[in-house]
Structures are given as C-alpha cells and as structure tokens.
Amino acid sequence: EHRDAAIDGGHRNVTTLTPSRLSQHDHQGTQDALHETADIGVDAVEPDDATLNPLDFGTAVHEALESANFGDLAVTRMRTTRICRKHHLPPEPVCAQVERALQSELIQRAARADVIHRELPLTTIKQTGGQTIITEGVADLLFSDHGRWVLVDYKSDETIPPERLNTYHRQLQTYASMLNDAGTPVQEAYILLTATGESIAVPLSDEHAS
C-alpha cells in the first residue's frame, strides 16, 4: 500500500517545494494542447499561452509531476488543472508536458518501482579546512528498481545546449554524492525533458554509485 501511495502522489499531505535551482532559462512552454474539461471547482481567468512566464510554467510542471498519479492519466489531468489555476496559468500546455512525462519509459519504469520518493529534500554538512559547508537540494524523483536506485531531474526544455547540460550533469552528480553519503547509492541518474519525454543519462563515477 505504501508503493501504491507513492505512485498516486496526490494522496500525500505535503507542502510543495519549489527547487531553488530553477531559472527562467530552464523552462520553455509548449503550444501543444490537451483538452481538459473536468470541473474542479476553481474559478479563475486563464491567461493566453503567449503570456506564460517560463519560471511559473516550470514550477507548475514540477508541482503537477509531484502530485501526479503515475498510473491514472485522467486523475493527473484533473490535479494538473487545479495546480495551473492556482498559479493562474492555462492548463493545456502544462497538461501536455505532464502527459508526455507520464508516457515516457522512465516514468513508466518508476511506476513499477519498489520504492518511490518525490521532491526529496537533500542536505549534507561537511567540515573542510575549519569551515562548515552546507549543501542543499531537492531530488525531483528517486526510485528503487529491484535494488537499483535511480535519480531523475525534470527539465521543461525541448533541447539543452551543451554548456547548460554540463551544469545539469554536475547538479545530479552532486545529488548522487549526497545520497551516497546518506547511505543510498545511486546507480543511475537521468534528466527527463518533459517537453518531449526524452531522458538523458547522466554519467556517474564509481564514487557516486558505490
């Protein structure tokens, strides 16, 4: 039942965390639309897609994937629409990205996983040269697939330039090291492009996956 609750993320009583690493360059809207007709009891004026703020859009995608039911697209659409109206965003482009993410091989794999964690806060404290260094982050998705821990970070880009991809690699490699220090060795790490459903493997050293 704990696994089912993790797949159906909407039943958890949580406060959504917006990762501080998000920037306006990390999120690009899509014009593809899904027709959402569910009446969820939220009365709001929805702006045109052209007015979308990339940061707000990316935040909504992250929140929607946190609350998404990986096994029920209709329920996920309803929850995504509620989130969009809370942020005064049109639901169609966000629903489109969330649907692509749920149909991706990576999320389908997560739906079958033994253990799933979403928006997992990470913190490490180390002493270096007499200084205390605190490193913080939030793992968008972490799941165990037959004992192999898989780390996933969502990006709403359609493509990622090489220089930015290197930055994202370092981000996930840092998270993998933090999890390894906490006793959870990460064997695989991926960037999931929610705009396309494509997953990009992030190289991990033996130190990260030990």
The confidence band for 126, taking pLDDT boundaries of 50, 70 and 90, is: confident
Distance CA 195, CA 57 (A): 12
pLDDT at 191 over 50: yes
| 170 burial level (CB within 10 Å; 0-12, 13-18, 19+) | exposed
Q: Quick one: which of 137, 157, 153 has its CA closest to 191? A: 153
Q: Write down the pTM of the prediction.
A: 0.76
- pLDDT at residue number 41: 36
Q: In this model, does residue 104 exceed pLDDT 80?
A: yes
Report whether pLDDT(106) > 80: yes
Looking at per-residue confidence, does 48 or 198 come out higher?
198
More confident residue, 21 or 182: 182
Write down the pLDDT at residue 46.
47
The whole-angstrom separation of Cα 26 and Cα 161 is: 11
Query: 26 CB contacts (<8 Å, ≥6 apart)?
Result: 54, 58, 155, 156, 157
Please, which residues have CB within 8 angstroms of residue 188's CB and are 6 or more apart in sequence? 148, 149, 150, 151, 201, 204
Q: How many angstroms from the chain centroid is the CA of residue 133? A: 26
What average pLDDT does the segment 43-61 reach? 70
Share the mean pLDDT of the chain. Answer: 81
Q: What is the mean pLDDT of residues 131-154?
A: 95
pLDDT surpassing 80 at residue 103: yes
pLDDT at site 10: 61
* pLDDT at site 129: 85
Which amino acid does the sequence have at 38? A
CA distances from 193 to 1, 132, 197 (A): 29, 35, 5
Per-residue pLDDT tens for 7-39?
A: 777 654 433 222 333 333 343 333 232 223 233
CB contact at 8 A, 3 and 114:
yes
Question: What pLDDT, on the 0 to 100 scale, is given for residue 127?
Answer: 85
Any bridge partners for residue 127, and if so which? 132
Which strand ranges, in their side-by-side order, compose the sheet holding 198-201?
Answer: 115-128, 131-145, 148-155, 186-193, 198-201
**Residue 2: band (very low, low, confident or very high) from pLDDT cuts 50, 70, 90:** low
